[in-house]
Amino acid sequence: MKRAELAAAIAAAAPDHVIITSLGSAGRAWRDHGGPNPTFFGSDPMGAAPGLALGAALARPDLRFLLLEGDGDLVMNLGVLLAIADAGAGNLRVVVFHNGRYETGGGQPLAAAGRADLGAVALGAGWPWVRTLERGASGDTLRAGVEALLAAPVAPALLVAEVDAEASPYGGPGELSGVEARVRFQEQLRNWESRREDAG
Amino acid sequence: MSETGSNGADRARRIAERLRAGGVELAASLPDSWLSPLIDRVAADEHIRHVRVSREDDAVAIAGGAALMGKRSVVLCQNAGVLLATNVLAAFSYHHQLPLLIVAAARGGAEDGFYYQMYKGQVSAGVAAAAGLSVHQVTGPQDDWLFERGSEQAWLQRRPVVLMCSRGALLGAAA
């Protein structure tokens, strides 16, 4: 499964979600192949995206949040799984882009890559709904897996999606500073909510 | 001498009232004995969403996420948490400019009787200042206005603000 395929499947299934991404290849896959959802593209520090997504979800329980999380970002801070499970954020779902290595940093393997089971870690941390999509999943299985995550009857819910190792070089310094990206997201969210209110 | 006697409960009530008056709607916490009454008070407060964490940088990230969505929040932790969370605090200060308030137990001062707390008192305020944060010393009830105004200052500065709180400020006069 390519990162782009996963991002495209998410975009098709989750047009009504606010997206938060970790830095690195998961965020870039969403930027290049995702949808027009209001999106906060996370940046440094690594390991902060899940906490940030939890805080956002708790602050706005009226919205649905989807965190697109790189496995390197997640393993930097596995303890956050406890906080999210404990908070019981019913409006937060997570897709982990799992290739077992630090793609942007040069492809070095994660600690215990190939042995650790991130889904089992989440289950052990108290998450009520966890599934794993294997690397060789068909397009239909991928779409069904994403739809099952979004329709999960309990949350927080987490989908570990095994994606292929693909080159993901740095894309340069980017056009926006962190604060500019934050302000752009907040404007995008306001406009999105305004259009939703107008529509309905 | 109890760390959680009636003085502590009264202080916690007053501090929680100030936090609410400052617009705080979410609190993320990691325990310290000086903070125990306040954490219990906040956890029972129907107007503040309380989140338990296992590391202080998670608490800061959660508070930053609330700020991203326009909500004011507070982190309750020991000053060691400021040291642990310096990376995310510096990022929220300089990179993202996300406001939040930290109410920190200022362990390691002259009033503290534990040798292993001393280093925290020696370095945490300086580290917080180096990370770009405004730092206030809260030494007693006369400084309670800071629990309310700290959030406003954070919002105006677009960065975290730290209240380094003495034992007396958090627990009241020793019984």
- Give chain B's mean pLDDT: 94
Q: How confident is the model at residue B113 (pLDDT cuts 50, 70, 90)?
A: confident
Burial class, B139, CB count within 10 angstroms (exposed 0-12 / middle 13-18 / buried 19+) = middle
Residue B69 has its nearest CB partner, among A43, A50, A56, at: A56
Residue A68 has a pLDDT of 98
Work out whether strand A108-109 and strand A101-102 pair parallel, antiparallel, or are unpaired: antiparallel
User: What's the token pair of residue B66?
Assistant: 């609330």
Q: How confident is the model at residue A173 (pLDDT cuts 50, 70, 90)?
A: low
Residue B1 has a pLDDT of 41
User: Using CA atoms in the order B9, B11, B12, B18, what is the torsion angle rounded to 10 degrees?
Assistant: 150
Which of B50, B52, B68, B87 has the highest number of chain A CBs within 10 A, making it the mutation to test binding with A?
Answer: B68
Q: Long-range contact list for A24-28, CB < 8 A, 24+ apart?
A: A24/A70, A24/A72, A24/A73, A24/A102, A24/A103, A24/A104, A24/A168, A25/A70, A25/A97, A25/A99, A25/A103, A25/A104, A25/A166, A25/A168, A26/A68, A26/A69, A26/A70, A26/A73, A26/A97, A27/A68, A27/A70, A28/A168, A28/A171
Instruction: Answer yes or no: is pLDDT of A175 > 90.
Output: no
How many residues can be counted in chain A?
A: 200
Instruction: Answer yes or no: is pLDDT of A105 > 90.
Output: no
Task: Collect all residues of chain A within an 8 Å Cβ-Cβ radius of residue B52.
Answer: 83, 86-87
Distance from the Cα of B30 to chain A's closest Cα (Å) equals: 11
pLDDT digits (tens, 9 = 90+) for B72-103: 999 999 999 999 999 999 999 999 999 999 99
- Confirm or reject contact between A110 and chain B (CB < 8 A): no
- Confirm or reject contact between A59 and chain B (CB < 8 A): yes
- Give chain A's mean pLDDT: 94
Determine whether the interchain pair B68/A56 forms a contact, defined as Cβ–Cβ distance below 8 Å.
yes
What gap in Å lies between CA A163 and CA B12, rounded to an integer? 49
Instruction: Answer yes or no: is pLDDT of A152 > 50.
Output: yes
Residue B4 has a pLDDT of 56
pLDDT cut 70: percent of chain A above it: 99
Which of B29, B30, B48, B54 has the highest number of chain A CBs within 10 A, making it the mutation to test binding with A?
Answer: B54
Burial A131-141 (b: 16+ CB within 10 A, else e): ebbeeebeeee
What gap in Å lies between CA A90 and CA A102, rounded to an integer? 30
Tell which wins on pLDDT, A176 or B158.
Answer: B158
Q: How many CB pairs under 8 A join A and B?
A: 117
Residue B58 has its nearest CB partner, among A79, A178, A182, at: A79
Strand partners, B27: B50, B74
State the pTM of this model. 0.96
- Confirm or reject contact between A44 and chain B (CB < 8 A): yes
